Amino acid sequence: MDETTAGALAGIKVIDLSRVLGGPYCTQMLGDHGAEIVKIEPPQGDETRTWGPPFKDDAASYFIGVNRNKEGVALDLSKPAAREVLFRLLADADVLVDNFKIGTLERWGLGYREVLQERFPRLIHCRISGFGADGPYGGYPGYDAVVQGMAGLMSVNGEPGGAPVRMGVAVVDLATGMNATIAILMALVERARSGRGQFVEATLYDSAVALLHPHIANFLLNGKPPQRTGNAHSNISPYDQFKTGTKRVFLGIGNDRQFARLCNEIGRPDLPGDPRFRSNADRVANRAALREALETALATIDGEALAIRLLDAGVPAGPVMEVPDVIAHPHTAHRGMIVEMEGYRGTGNPVKLSRTPARLRSAPPRFGSATRRVLTAAGYGEAEIDGLVESGVALTEPPAGKENS
């Protein structure tokens, strides 16, 4: 395999103890770019295997979406013998990723500072948690929507005068997975200089707070709490979603030149001369009247075609698409954002490298499908593996009654 097909992270081995979303998203990102990912699940499996319908084989779409390019191993880490297996796997690993409840690994004799740091000095241990180990919220479990509320994201999302609204995707989990990926890559770069691993972490709370730009920056400067503005921008107009004759469009008009071009495209070249709309400040002060004028003109216009014309003219605009439309769109295909292999379909990797691109090498693993292969590679004999399976330390298939169909 040449370097192009191997990926930028070829040769990096990751032991993935994480479940649900943030950790698996992180390790899938690493796996897409060539790292060897050994996903170790508990006997009950990653919870998201059951988060359906829809299901395919033994897994829900939620699991399938973030677990490709991984080998599936199952160990009962509550048993000392399984922890000895994990130590064997860590002997040649570069990275350990976990999102256990704070204190779990320490209770099992697997804490980084107490055990792993000395035993595996080159190991990078990435912990993903809700709030970290200490502080007022330290040790609490973290859940995306709950943290959206606790960290202020909900407070800036919703209609004016309405209640705070959860964002429609698990933005905190996903951002935390991205931050974990960045942390691991930074630690790998530093290790190349020092020869030493380190403990790195990403928390849902920190990630959510870091997403609050420009709201925190504004508040730190002027002391005014942000207000919910729906789709509209508090400082710019028209910067909002509008009805058309077909699809809704989002117009992001940032200056008078763009506003004039918009008005020409919709057959209202007179609007920029209206005293209510001459400057951005005028348009903000009279946004309700401006919306009425724009939507009246847009009522007979094809929104998607208009948006493309506006983009051609240098005016920020876009149709508000549904998910099926996005999946079928030729630009999605052009960017490689839907990938397929032997019946598997998934979201493509957003990180593009020119010489060593991300690659789909394997579909998400069935539960325990690689247990025997991984243990054999770690030096266990066939009889030893049989013993580990028979004792319930290692698993090669779901416990009876646990598999979905």
CATH no. for 3-211+334-395: 3.40.50.10540
- pLDDT at residue number 234: 80
| Tens-digit pLDDT profile for residues 118-140 | 999 999 999 999 999 999 999 99
Can you give the pLDDT at residue 55? 93
316's CB contacts (< 8 A; 6+ apart) are 251, 252, 253, 254, 258, 310
319 by DSSP, 3-state: which?
strand
For residue range 315-353, list pLDDT tens digits in order. 999 999 999 999 999 999 999 999 999 999 999 999 999
Which pLDDT value is given to residue 208? Answer: 98
- Fold: same for 3-211+334-395 and 249-319: no
SS3 state of residue 77: coil
Task: Please report, for the chain, the start and end positions of each structural domain, with discontinuous segments joined by +.
Answer: 3-211+334-395, 249-319
Mean pLDDT of the chain: 95
Beta strands in 116-248 (DSSP E): 124-129, 199-203, 239-242
Considering the candidates 173, 206, 240, 312, report the single residue annotated as catalytic. 173
CATH architecture of the domain 249-319 equals 2-Layer Sandwich (3.30)
| pLDDT at position 405 | 38
Which strands sit side by side in the sheet containing 249-252, from one edge to the other? 239-242, 249-252, 317-319
Q: What's the pLDDT score for residue 48?
A: 95
- Model confidence pLDDT, tens digit, residues 150-195: 999 999 999 999 999 999 999 999 999 999 999 999 999 999 999 9
- State mean pLDDT over 32-49: 97
Residue 404: pLDDT over 70: no
173 is catalytic: yes
Least confident range from 2-6, 25-29, 207-211: namely 2-6
N- to C-terminal Cα separation, the chain = 36
Give the integer Cα–Cα distance in Å for 395 and 389. Answer: 5
pLDDT band at 380 (very low <50, low <70, confident <90, very high): very high
